[in-house]
Structure 1
Amino acid sequence: MKDPKPFGVNELREMFLHFFETKGHLRLPSFSLIPQNDASLLLINSGMAPMKPFFTGEQEPPRHRVTTCQKCIRTGDIENIGKTARHGTYFEMLGNFSFGDYFKNEAIHWAWEFLTSPEWVGLDPDRLFPSVFAGNETTPADTEAFRVWNEEIGVPADHIFKFGKEDNFWEHGSGPCGPCSEIYYDRGPKYGCGKPGCTVGCDCDRYMEVWNVVFSQFDNDGEGHYTELKQKNIDTGMGLERLAVVCQNVDSLFDVDTVMNITNKVTEITGAKYGQSHAIDVSLRVITDHIRSATFMICDGVLPSNEGRGYVLRRLLRRAARHGKLLGVNEPFLYRVCDTVIHENEGHYPELRERQDYITKVIRVEEENFAKTIDGGLKIFNEMLAGHKAKGEKTFSGGDAFKLYDTYGFPIDLTLEMVEEQGMTLDEEEFHKQMEEQRQRARKAREALGDLGWAGVEFGKDIPETQFVGYDHTTVEGAKVVALVVENEQAEELMPGVEAIVVLDKTPFYAEMGGQIGDQGTLTADGVTFAVTDVQKNKGGKYMHYGKLTQGTLKVGDTVTAALDVERRKAIMRAHSATHLLDKALRTVLGDHVHQAGSLVEPDRLRFDFTHFSALTAQELGKVSAIVNEAVLEGYDIVTQELPIEEAKKKGAIALFGEKYGDTVRVVDMGSGYSVEFCGGTHLDNTAKVGVFHISSEFSVASGVRRIEATTGKASLAVMNRNQEMLFQAASILKAKPGELREKAEAVMAEVRQLSQSVEKFKAREAVSEAERFLFSGHDVGGLKVLTATVPEADANRLRKMGDFLRDKEPKVVAVLAAVNGEKITFLAVCGKDAVKAGVKAGDIIKQVSAIAGGSGGGKPDSAMGGGKDPLMVDNALAMVDNVVSMKLGV
């Protein structure tokens, strides 16, 4: 058997893609790791996953023959990472795909040509073993694939293995499915298990699967019935790293060139040597694998968080950081490996280098934040672990694990991992029980807050959905009252003074949704006025007008004129249009990883939450504000359209992640493409009407989520006027012109600092003088000079200055000073060096003295402070000092 050619990872990737280009395939770049319009996946985990719409026929592919090298993340076997040769969270999947074009014959021939031809990979054909589907009671055996392999390719029948559905049939619930054919490579006896009969299909590492081609030819109805598909597809997947393992003749995917170069960087930083021990190798592999995954995930827009794909990223970084600690690295270091990851992959993924600074910063911030958590958590964990071991227990308490998680923020997966490393098991059942109890407590707490009152109201099907006409109208005449609700019950009639909900058949009032608050206004008829204070929309599409009947009587079936507060609506539209401009500005300044994470739009005020890993600098905030105000000054036209969702996406419209959209969506386009977003809210017709945009604050609201609060229109003008008024007032007080205010303020502050320093010096001298007078009142107790005094309204700093003088001036002094400020009592005790040598300590004295006044205290032998609660006992406390000193001296 001949050895393979030692192609590098980057060579193999390019070779594969070019090979299929020669077969008429369109080369597509890797799709993002973040699935688009696919809620079934957290992260892309296979080459075909991003192309599901092409396979199902929902979307026309750019060509019916496609080839890709797809970035993938799988974390199902995360506990095995580093321990085996085959498991990795990040890998690249080479694929060739046919959407209703070629089928089994071409797919098999091309697979064999690429793997065995001397012009391409050139593997030894005698070391390759195909497998086919053996068939079962519901699905026939794949005799066609067997025939192609045997009769056309010439693979001997004893080299073709037949396996069952578990190994050689691909399906995922109902839908397209089919048999598959895998190709295994014999790596030689040294990778085998040595058991008699070891062959293809054995769990050992001798026979490595390098190719899997799925023949998508059936439709599964979900009940075990399979029918032939009209459009048959090909889905080929081949792990790039696995092929490199074979070609480079190395032990594992961690030993291939591009991955080993990353490990070499980790060893350089940590000082750990690969091959030194199994434990060290595991840690090095975990760090290498996880930093690869993290780098690519962050590049594609994933940020660390406590849920979803953000938690996957956080977990990978935390596992890697902990394994760094196992190697003796106690400071952030993962971010230093990024450059090597990028260097090894930038030829095919140039976006890595473009976003390097951003990737590095995200990882460093997460490392630094986790260091604070893990240091405290590890200490508590070790104390808990020692307690279990002292009792001879082999099970780590679920209650302790929950306390680590709930109180100290220590991740349960790390606790589980560390427990297993100690040869113990974790009582997961108890942990999950306490987690559920916590959820129940939280749920009850939420229920105690109540709801909006209308959630439980059920309207019959005879009450239609409310027709919203508020995009084009601010007033609607002839709106029919179709339902009334009073105290959560439907009513037929409203009387004056009653708070209620009115449901209309049509309305111009916008109901609160998408962050925009509901409109306010009035519903009127002859002699009838209903003041609307809020509008909500229920699941049945009914618009609920909250408010109070202030005049007349209102009945179901009446018609009213619905008129919203136009000035308030304008102010809301100013703020809402500004959020779109703000979103655009944030992406421009910070990067495409910024995604809206929530918003609140009120009259001329907005709150905008967005994904970002650190606080914005003053310069970044300045740029964001400038970009928004420039867009306002440009006076961009704002156009809203209802478009088919695919057409909207082609226009570049930005959708809120996690939101569900129908076939038709409303698109808000500002400046003919400057800002294009899906949005159902109300907007201005021109950005100039936003007025002045002013950022009032920026802060964190959750890990990886920041918040900007801002004003527009009249609210911004009010802020400016208020600031200007304060400016003129300050200038008047300081007797300066507004333009000279800064220089004048600096001069005044310098003068204040100088005066303050002079006052402090005077106070210090005064304190020393007063302390010096106290020395004359001291009396002898066992050869020491004991004195006590009350210093009216002195603060702690003044007492310390006096005490330091007494202690340093007189080596034999024992002094206790007291200050009473209202109900607050402060005690200070000092002992000179001779007093301390004699066995009298300030800390001991202050404890006894403070206790008499109902307080406590402590400190060092030469100086200690305490407090008290009962001012009437201060004299008694000071009177005890002589007795305390006498007892210490034994006199």
Structure 2
Amino acid sequence: MQYRGLNELREMYLSFFESKGHLRLPSFSLIPQNDASLLLINSGMAPMKPYFTGEQEPPRHRVTTCQKCIRTGDIENVGKTARHGTYFEMLGNFSFGDYFKREAIHWSWEFLTSPEWVGIDPDRLYPSIYVDDDEAFEIWNKEIGIPAERIFRFGKADNFWEHGSGPCGPCSEIYYDRGEEYGCHKPDCTVGCDCDRYMEVWNNVFSQFNNDGHGNYTELKQKNIDTGMGLERLACVVQGVGSLFEVDTVRNIMKHIERIAGVEYHKDEKIDISLRVITDHIRSTAMMVCDGVIPSNEGRGYVLRRLLRRAARHGKLLGINRPFLSEVLDTVIAENEGHYPELAQKSDYIHKVIEMEEARFDATIDSGLSILGDMVAAVKAEGKTELPASDAFKLYDTYGFPIDLTLEILEEQGMTTDRAGFDALMNEQRERAREDRKKMGDLGWASENLGLDKSIKTRFDGYTIMDEQATVLAIVANGEVSGSAATGDQVTVVLDHTPFYAEMGGQVADHGLLTNDKGLVVRISDVQKTKDGKFMHIGVVESGVIAVDDLVDAAIDTARRQAIARSHTATHLLQKALRMVLGTHVEQAGSYTDADHVRFDFTHFAAVTQEELVKIEDIVNDAIFAAYPVITEEMPIDEAKKRGAMALFGEKYGSTVRVVQAGDFSIELCGGTHLTNTAQAGMFKIISESSVAAGVRRIEALTGKGVLNFLQEKQTLILDTAKALKTTPHDLLGKVEQLLEEIRDTNKKVEKLSAKVANMQMIDLFNLSRDVKGVNVIAAKLEDVTPDMLRVMGDQIKEKAPKMVAVLSTVVEGGKINFVCVCGAEAVKAGAHAGKIIKEVAKMCNGGGGGRPDNATAGGKDVSKLEEALEAVNNIVEAQLS
């Protein structure tokens, strides 16, 4: 068996199955498309579920891929062993109703054993089959020639492949005997043993059932083949190494980490764990960020954040006390860009995401570790091993310290925490406003119950036609499927073809009318597209009757469509301008285009400066004034990419795509409606720039008449303001500056008067003080005093009366109590502590606070308890002095 690198093995596999009539497809994105059952793609077949179930026609009935996969179920074990990892590549050959068991088994054996291909010694390979799959046994035994004693029958747990809902079935695996040195040396050690001697390298899944996710199996319309083989595992066998971390490309990544940390693999187990964690996690994060995942606190974004922060922490355990993951990323890209060129294309962006997240974590990790260390020490001092849930939650909520990291560190200390208690606190604190808008919920139900075949789709003619006759296929009236609807009914109407654009790709739906010559008027206010391609026209019947099979005139509001097109074309010009001014890392992360209004989300890692916004706005307007022709064409996706067309992160495109090009200025893949010339956009005006999430910014802008309305509103505001200030628009700035100067002079006079009032009140306070064990104590509520004045008075008392403890309070508008407590230097020496005093006083008023021994502040909510709290001050101070 000849040594071959991982990249060579990948290409060899794909070429082999191309020679067997398979279509080679690139890896799908790690972000699942139209599959709510998965957070991230976790197997080679996952992106192709619709082909297996027959819902979609595959591009060819024989396909081969090398699919990027992420599995995080064993994340806690990554690093602790050499076999666990979160990222891997899955080689696959697939048949959608074409060949079945015989070809799959023969080809797997040919690829693995033929000297022309991998050339593994056949005597070291052992097939397994599902316990009652006699057909597979006959193929292995009589056709391939494997003796019966070398074919292993296993039950459902081992040889029936399923992963959540979706296609599944019995499988036949091939194991490689790595030799006795990898075994457990037990007398009964054989295929299926838990030790590392027999490694599964191939899995032929005979996909013939569909699992609904609840253990219910139905026969698929077509029998399929789903083959999975871990590329890293195959490389382990061919390269004769002990684990995936010693495979050539992965080992090169680890060597980079070793150089940065000044350590060496296989010298110390703790160091090895950290090296494996970082190596695995940086591979995962590079691929996830490249496919459009952004660090966040939920969903796949949280998975990414967890991996990044876990890797960063293990860097610190190796003694790397600076951000370093971005450096290692260079090697990840270099080792993979041959097969995944998008890594190099998006290198700047991936670097910035990782740099920003690592820096953010670096800012919290040190303080969090210190606080957790104190908490752990306190718990151990009490002879306990469980950190209170409230402490774990405080670390997360107050200091941004991830619960997963807390659990990992506690485990290293032989401790635990109350995870259920932590989750309960999280549930109490979280606002439940995160649920995505489920606008398609009712429509989804309706589309399933319309009685229409799934193959029936609405033909969209609206790129070139604004008004046409169409046939009514189905009606939902007032929430019920119906044959007709009359005046006043809320309706959803399905047509066989339509000029109405359905809401998608960030573009809002068209509005318009459905009419006929019998007095029918249905006002359409929304259009949504179902997964099976039906356009649901939503509106109200204003007059007449509409019925299934009616012929209606469908006409859109053309003025509104033109306004929306202005906005949509402007977003293309905006994206180009952003990349010109901010850099090529900018990618669209979402958009909303309405009539004359644009909302555009994009990847960027700092607030856009006013100077940059001016440049961006100028570039877009220059493109509008240049009157570039806007040309829309359909073409093969490879040709579109060659032309430089921009695509969206994580978006799934077919083999033929729609390309929108504005002169030589911008070119993008887009299914929306557009202008025919950029000049039709009129003007473009940015009205705001803000943060949406970590690494994502948002620009709100106006186009066309929206800009005119905006300018008119601003002009009216200027005129009204000038009138109110009794000046002219031309002199408005000077008038405002004059008023501000007058206000500053007035404030200075007020501050002087306030200081005099405070001094007068302070003299009275000294006369009211009481002696408590040699310390003078004041507790008072002051009227007509601001919180700032309260603090000034406290500072003066502390300075002039070293033996004094003063608790001063005032009630501000809204009924909130403000407290200040100060302790003079001698009072502090005697045992007084302002922070502890104020904490007890505020607590009695349903508030809280704290501070230093000599100075502290607090707030309270219950004014009715204020007098009682002030009366308690003498006793609180006396207890401290004792």
TM tier, shorter chain? 0.5 to 0.7
* Letter of the 1:82 counterpart: G
1:512-661 to 2 correspondences below 5 Å = 515-519=506-510, 532=523, 534-536=525-527, 541=535, 543-546=537-540, 554-555=544-545, 565-582=557-574, 591=584, 594-597=587-590, 599-610=591-602, 625=617, 628-639=620-631
Conserved? CA contact 1:535–1:545, under 8 Å? yes
CA distance in 1, matches of 2:325, 2:461: 55
Conserved? CA contact 2:824–2:854, under 8 Å? yes
CA distance in 1, matches of 2:147, 2:440: 71
Q: Which residue pairs with 1:90 in the alignment?
A: 87
Residues 38 and 536 of structure 1: CA distance in aligned 2, closer, same or farther (over 3 Å): closer
1:256-267 to 2 correspondences below 5 Å = 256=247, 258-266=249-257
Residues 161 and 385 of structure 1: CA distance in aligned 2, closer, same or farther (over 3 Å): farther
Residues 757 and 462 of structure 1: CA distance in aligned 2, closer, same or farther (over 3 Å): closer
Q: Which residue pairs with 2:308 in the alignment?
A: 317
1:719 alignment partner, one of 710, 734, 743: 710
Offset from partner CA, 1:104-162 (integer Å, 9 cap, x none): 58973884426898xxxxx9x6x962335679865446778779988xxxxxx889943
1:258-277 to 2 correspondences below 5 Å = 258-266=249-257, 274-275=265-266
Residues 251 and 159 of structure 1: CA distance in aligned 2, closer, same or farther (over 3 Å): farther
CA distance in 1, matches of 2:114, 2:185: 29
Aligned: 1:797 with 2:782: no
Superposition TM-score, scaled by structure 1 size: 0.67
Q: After TM superposition, give the deviation of residue 604 of structure 1 in Å.
A: 0.5
Q: Which residue pairs with 2:110 in the alignment?
A: 108
2:277 alignment partner, one of 261, 279, 286: 286
Residues 766 and 266 of structure 1: CA distance in aligned 2, closer, same or farther (over 3 Å): same
- The secondary structure found in structure 2 opposite 1:600 is strand
Q: After TM superposition, give the deviation of residue 179 of structure 1 in Å.
A: 6.2
Offset from partner CA, 1:413-462 (integer Å, 9 cap, x none): 6677678767789999x799989999999699999999999988999779
2:355 alignment partner, one of 360, 364, 371: 364
Aligned: 1:808 with 2:805: no
CA distance in 1, matches of 2:748, 2:703: 47
- The secondary structure found in structure 2 opposite 1:113 is coil
Q: Which residue pairs with 2:660 in the alignment?
A: 669
Q: Which residue pairs with 2:185 in the alignment?
A: 194
Residues 361 and 23 of structure 1: CA distance in aligned 2, closer, same or farther (over 3 Å): same
Q: After TM superposition, give the deviation of residue 776 of structure 1 in Å.
A: 10
1:767 alignment partner, one of 755, 760, 771: 755
Q: Which residue pairs with 2:126 in the alignment?
A: 131
- The secondary structure found in structure 2 opposite 1:709 is strand
Q: After TM superposition, give the deviation of residue 677 of structure 1 in Å.
A: 3.3
CA distance in 1, matches of 2:877, 2:137: 102
- The secondary structure found in structure 1 opposite 2:286 is helix
* Letter of the 2:755 counterpart: A
- The secondary structure found in structure 2 opposite 1:320 is helix
Q: After TM superposition, give the deviation of residue 712 of structure 1 in Å.
A: 0.8
Where does structure 2 lack aligned partners over 5 or more consecutive residues?
Answer: 211-216
Residues 486 and 362 of structure 1: CA distance in aligned 2, closer, same or farther (over 3 Å): closer
Q: After TM superposition, give the deviation of residue 293 of structure 1 in Å.
A: 2.3
Q: After TM superposition, give the deviation of residue 37 of structure 1 in Å.
A: 7.1
Q: Which residue pairs with 1:162 in the alignment?
A: 151
Conserved? CA contact 2:770–2:778, under 8 Å? no
- The secondary structure found in structure 1 opposite 2:82 is coil
Moved more, 232-241 or 338-347: 232-241
Q: After TM superposition, give the deviation of residue 330 of structure 1 in Å.
A: 7.9
CA distance in 2, matches of 1:755, 1:147: 99
1:334 alignment partner, one of 301, 325, 328: 325
Q: Which residue pairs with 1:81 in the alignment?
A: 78
Which has more radius of gyration? 1
Q: After TM superposition, give the deviation of residue 411 of structure 1 in Å.
A: 7.0
Q: Which residue pairs with 1:154 in the alignment?
A: none
Conserved? CA contact 1:94–1:240, under 8 Å? no
Conserved? CA contact 1:258–1:344, under 8 Å? yes
Offset from partner CA, 1:224-271 (integer Å, 9 cap, x none): 999999xx9997957356545764x65433245554454455456667
- The secondary structure found in structure 1 opposite 2:151 is strand
CA distance in 2, matches of 1:233, 1:832: 82
* Letter of the 2:699 counterpart: I
Residues 533 and 431 of structure 1: CA distance in aligned 2, closer, same or farther (over 3 Å): farther
Q: After TM superposition, give the deviation of residue 697 of structure 1 in Å.
A: 2.5
Seq. identity, % = 40
CA distance in 2, matches of 1:326, 1:570: 59
Conserved? CA contact 1:638–1:668, under 8 Å? no
Offset from partner CA, 1:598-633 (integer Å, 9 cap, x none): x43322112234566765566765665455445433
Offset from partner CA, 1:152-196 (integer Å, 9 cap, x none): xxxxx889943447899998787999967665443xx43332223
CA distance in 2, matches of 1:128, 1:658: 44
Conserved? CA contact 1:131–1:181, under 8 Å? yes
Conserved? CA contact 2:176–2:198, under 8 Å? no
Q: After TM superposition, give the deviation of residue 544 of structure 1 in Å.
A: 3.0
Offset from partner CA, 1:480-501 (integer Å, 9 cap, x none): 9998967989899978xx6865
Conserved? CA contact 1:33–1:73, under 8 Å? no
Conserved? CA contact 2:79–2:277, under 8 Å? yes
Conserved? CA contact 1:764–1:798, under 8 Å? no
Residues 78 and 592 of structure 1: CA distance in aligned 2, closer, same or farther (over 3 Å): same
Q: Across the two proteins, how many residue pairs are aligned to each other?
A: 846
* Letter of the 2:705 counterpart: K
- The secondary structure found in structure 1 opposite 2:115 is helix
Q: After TM superposition, give the deviation of residue 288 of structure 1 in Å.
A: 1.8
Conserved? CA contact 1:830–1:842, under 8 Å? yes
CA distance in 1, matches of 2:500, 2:13: 56
CA distance in 2, matches of 1:159, 1:526: 78
Residues 44 and 820 of structure 1: CA distance in aligned 2, closer, same or farther (over 3 Å): closer
Q: After TM superposition, give the deviation of residue 475 of structure 1 in Å.
A: 6.1
Q: Which residue pairs with 1:686 in the alignment?
A: 677
1:751-790 to 2 correspondences below 5 Å = 763=751, 767=755, 771=759
Offset from partner CA, 1:371-407 (integer Å, 9 cap, x none): 688876997899799989989899x999999999999
CA RMSD of superposed structures (Å)? 7.2
Conserved? CA contact 2:502–2:535, under 8 Å? no
Q: Which residue pairs with 1:120 in the alignment?
A: none
Conserved? CA contact 1:128–1:183, under 8 Å? no
CA distance in 2, matches of 1:175, 1:365: 41
